[in-house]
Structures are given as structure tokens and as C-alpha cells.
Amino acid sequence: VLPFPSQVVYNRVGKCGSRTVVLLLRILSEKHGFNLVTSDIHNKTRLTKNEQMELIKNISTAEQPYLFTRHVHFLNFSRFGGDQPVYINIIRDPVNRFLSNYFFRRFGDWRGEQNHMIRTPSMRQEERYLDINVCILENYPECSNPRLFYIIPYFCGQHPRCREPGEWALERAKLNVNENFLLVGILEELEDVLLLLERLLPHYFKDVLSIYKNP
């Protein structure tokens, strides 16, 4: 008998701790025997109608129980006749997310020392080592529009208006959170979030907190 829910989507928001959570999910999927479905596409969050249909079809036919994860704005499965999965996500203070992204673009992360050079090959040295305070105070383009709205479309969805900062997108995002998301955690409270996931989705996240705390 499959546990409920047996279809979970983690449409992870960039620079909100998703790398850590995905590493935990790899360990948990082996430990608990659920199907972890990941995507190699990291930079395409907005999809055409056909792309939405194709992705939903691929996700829906995965062996259950599954947990699908990808950087992608909210997908409405029921719109295309599919079973709506349970969604989870983690967000963070938008200013902290901007800071994290600022340094990530310049210096990458542990995956490879030269990753940042591949990611931003045209970035000049003086730009790469630009002090973030100077960037903000002197109103450089990168820091004059820090994309604080970035998080909202992940919950608003694929409608074109979801990409327009404003009340409509915000209210639709709130509605989707209430109707489709089991949990939206806050990165600044990650241990509490993991504890909640362990309680709410034990067949996916049992022992996650002890695994996270284990060096």
C-alpha cells in the first residue's frame, strides 16, 4: 500500500538552501526506498504550455512514491488533467537571497573551483571583486534592481502576470500556497523545517534531522 501522499514536488527556489536539501534527499531516497526524480535543467523556470504538458506527463508517470525536484515555477497539474501532487518548498529572507546570489555568481561553490569562471566568463576581474557595499551605494545595475520579487513566481505559477511584480502575482501566490503546498519553510529556521518535514512526510524524511546534524 502506497503511503499518502505518494506524489511530492519540491520546486526549489534558487539560493534558498536547495543544494543542502537535495543532498539530504539523495541519502533519504536510498534509506527509505522512494523514487527521487531530479532534473538536469537548472535555468528554465518558465515554460510554454507544451513544455508544461510534457513535464507534467513525465512527472506523473514516475514510479510512486516519488519526490520530484527542479527549479521551476509552480505547475498546475489539474489544469492538464493530472493528479495534483503535494508541494513543498523553502524560501529565505529576500535580501539574504540577493547577497547569496551576488557572491555565488562571482565565486561559485564547492562543486568546482572554476565553476564561477564557466558561469560568468565575460565578468571582468574588477567586476568580480567589486565590494557589494560599493555596488549598492553607487547604484550599479546589478544592485539597483536586486530582484526581491524573485521568489513569488515559484508560488504564483506559469501565468505571464506571475512575472510582473504586483498585487495580482502576490495574491495568486498566497492562494496556491494555501491550496497546494503542504509546507513552505524558512531557511533561517532550517532545523525546525526539517523536523516538520519528518513529522508531516515520515516516509520521505524520517531521520532527516539526525542525518543533517551528522558530520
pLDDT digits (tens, 9 = 90+) for 167-197: 999 999 999 999 999 999 999 999 999 999 9
Catalytic residues: 71
Q: Does some domain include residue 207?
A: yes
Q: Could you give the percent of the chain with pLDDT greater than 90? A: 77
Mean pLDDT of 135-163: 92
Q: Does some domain include residue 1?
A: no
Q: How far apart are CA 197 and CA 151, in angstroms?
A: 21
pTM score, whole prediction: 0.90
Which residue would you say has higher pLDDT here, 106 or 12? 12
Q: Does some domain include residue 2?
A: no
E-only strand ranges, the chain:
7-10, 35-38, 66-69, 86-91, 181-186
Q: Does some domain include residue 49?
A: yes
Question: Domain range for residue 207?
Answer: 7-213
Q: End-to-end distance of the chain based on CA atoms, in angstroms? A: 35
At residue 116, the pLDDT reads 52
Report the half-sphere exposure of 157 (CA within 13 A, side-chain side).
19
Q: How far apart are CA 99 and CA 15, in angstroms?
A: 9
Strand pairing of 35-38 and 181-186?
unpaired
Q: Is the pLDDT of residue 150 over 60?
A: yes
Report the half-sphere exposure of 74 (CA within 13 A, side-chain side).
31
Domain count, the chain: 1
Check if the beta carbon of residue 75 is closer than 8 Å to that of residue 60. Answer: no
The CATH number of residue 76's host domain is: 3.40.50.300
Check if the beta carbon of residue 86 is closer than 8 Å to that of residue 5. Answer: yes
Judged by average pLDDT, the poorest of 35-49, 72-86, 96-110 is 96-110
Q: Does some domain include residue 48?
A: yes
